[in-house]
Amino acid sequence: MTFLLDQDIPEEIALLLRHWGHTVTLLRDVLPITIPDAEVFAYAQTHGLITVTCNRGDFLALANEHPAHPGLVILIRRRTRQAECAKMLNLLKRAGETGLRRNVNFA
């Protein structure tokens, strides 16, 4: 799977996804981190990337406006990075690509 990680996602999530063989694009590597969320979402749509973000409010609204989006994962902040990684890994195992594509998921 191919992911776009928003600027608020910890580096450990990128390392985890890459370790499991997924392609990860970091927002800061392709766009200014100050870019509006709508443009981040549009970039992900154009490139077929599943967006991973902690910004549930803005991105849920964008996903509702554009139901044909490639996919959205809202990462819920936990007390530790290990807990966040465990939730993300559990989501990947449970949902797989078909469960993430064109859906909104929470990890």
- Please say if the pLDDT value at position 81 is more than 90: yes
pLDDT value of residue 53: 97
* CB-CB contact of 45 with 70 (8 Å): yes
Global pTM value: 0.94
pLDDT value of residue 3: 98
Q: How far apart are CA 55 and CA 7, in angstroms?
A: 10
Helices (H), the chain: 11-19, 27-30, 37-47, 56-65, 81-100
